[in-house]
Chain A
């Protein structure tokens, strides 16, 4: 795990994709199961019903002051609109994760593109759980949460009767992400030619 005092994750997509649920499960895993400090905020009101949806996590070993994101370490974008709207304050060494089926124009080559919705449809049989597939990848690639805690929090938070489907989705996301080698990505979200300008 990275020894940063403050690590920020932003989950984004459109209303109905389960963006906030994914963030709450991760916050629960980190806060209640791993015992670290975590603060989770989300878009609220009309913007949360259709249109863009976002949820943010601030993770820290110490007390958390400002509860919202200041500079994002990891951005998950589940739609092109969310990617375009929320990419602006990603740290230069931050990581972008997108749903490759829904985000065609990726603004940086320091990005991981995985077909979360397609995996959900083909492996689980329900597009509905694309959020949990994405959560598996975010959990794995961020290195901020133990995967056991993520599983435990998921089982505690999802509706009764959907546990197995959600668990499989989470695992499918972890499996897909485990094939990614982050060291092959460029170090910065800004290309070399851009910094030379």
Chain B
């Protein structure tokens, strides 16, 4: 069966672990179009979702996939899609619709080399800023990244929980290396997994205002068909859900969309620090590159270099506090990325202390090795 019955050690691919995480988090709807290197997610869910009473649809393309998961979400079902670069471009169109209608959903992008069809079977991290800014309009969004099979499981659960809690689409950025690596992982008992479900209205249907503000900044969400009739639109809407151009209502609405994420910052932002206590140099990394960085700082320590590492699990909202304190603590920071420096731009942005920042960029379709990072640590 799809959902784990008890704690057990299993050998899983990253893509398989995303499936297990999604099922454990309560995902019961998936619409997608297979694409390398994300196809296993569709393939496995097509078998597993029906076993738990869920629905799997192979759509005609990724625009429709995104539309379908928004629809499922509005109907009260936790939903997900999974794709890679070319499909992620198409996702952008309806992604904004999920933002403005505040439809909780999870989008997995297993990154491969680009642009365009690029390098279908090779690893890259080129979609980081696209995940944040790809859909038009000033919109809030959550972007998480995974570096191991175990994180594929736990971060996927977290992605669903955050999307339900803040009514926002959550993007999981995986990459070809993480997706296809098999690792032994311990899957916890289902009863040990914290699952958050969206808050539904407690008022009678006739009193329900679907986009009314509250102290959380996140309106209660009724499922279509529950008797709470409401209007859903991609136009900016008032608290009843109908289009408005009244400046006051527009401003209130858009401010709430952003402020609900700002308010949740400390809950949304996840980072991991290793050997940072006495570090005077550090590597800031995410995704599969974090594994190389981890090895590099161990090798550097063995040579007497006080190296530490900060792994960014949440990429957006950007973990500026942790990065800021690493920048203040260290004399130099190394940022290895399999792109031309997308997160390093963010790090430059928060670098108030003027700390030396060294980019290391690799875009040939291969994972950055520990030695490449180690060389920078030695040559500082």
Residues of A whose CB lies within 8 Å of any CB of B are: 24, 27-28, 30-32, 35-42, 44-46, 64-68, 70
Contact = CB atoms under 8 A, between A and B. Distances in A.
A31 B9 contact: yes
Contacts of B183: 31, 37-40, 64, 67
B37 to A, nearest CB: 7
Given A39-B181, A41-B181, A67 B288 contact: yes
Contacts of A67: 148, 177, 181, 183, 288, 291
Contact of A32 (B11, B37, B181): B11
Nearest to A25: B11
Contacts of B288: 67
B120 interface: yes
Interface in B345-380: 367, 369-370
B292 interface: yes
A36 B11 CA distance: 11
A154 to B, nearest CB: 13
B328 interface: no
B184 A37 contact: yes
Contact of B292 (A27, A44, A66): A66
A31 B184 CA distance: 5
28 contacts: A24-B182, A27-B184, A28-B11, A31-B10, A31-B182, A32-B9, A32-B10, A35-B9, A37-B183, A37-B184, A38-B182, A38-B183, A39-B181, A39-B183, A40-B11, A40-B183, A41-B177, A44-B121, A64-B183, A65-B291, A65-B295, A65-B370, A66-B291, A66-B294, A66-B369, A67-B183, A67-B288, A68-B367
Nearest to B122: A45
Contacts of B36: 45
Contact of B184 (A24, A38, A45, A68): A38
B301 interface: no
Given A38-B183, A39-B183, 7 more contacts: A24-B11, A27-B182, A38-B11, A38-B182, A41-B180, A66-B292, A70-B369
A40 B9 contact: no
5 closest A-B pairs by CB: A45-B121, A31-B184, A65-B294, A65-B295, A40-B182
Nearest to A24: B182
A39 B182 contact: yes
Contact of A31 (B11, B148, B367, B370): B11
Nearest to B150: A63
A103 to B, nearest CB: 27
Contacts of A37: 183-184
A41 B179 CA distance: 10
Contacts, number: 71
A28 B13 CA distance: 11
Interface in B1-25: 9-11
Contacts of A40: 11, 181-183
Interface in B151-204: 176-177, 180-184
A32 B184 contact: yes
Nearest to A68: B367
B28 interface: no
Contacts of B306: none
Most A CB within 10 A of own CB, among B10, B37, B291, B369? B291
B8 to A, nearest CB: 8
B237 interface: no
Contacts of B176: 44
Contacts of B367: 68
A44 B182 contact: no
B180 A44 contact: yes
Task: Name, among A24, A39, A67, the residue most crowded by chain B CB atoms within 10 Å (CB to CB).
Answer: A67
Nearest to A44: B121
Contacts of A31: 9-11, 182-184
Contacts of A30: 184
B298 interface: yes
A68 B177 CA distance: 9
Contacts of A24: 11, 182
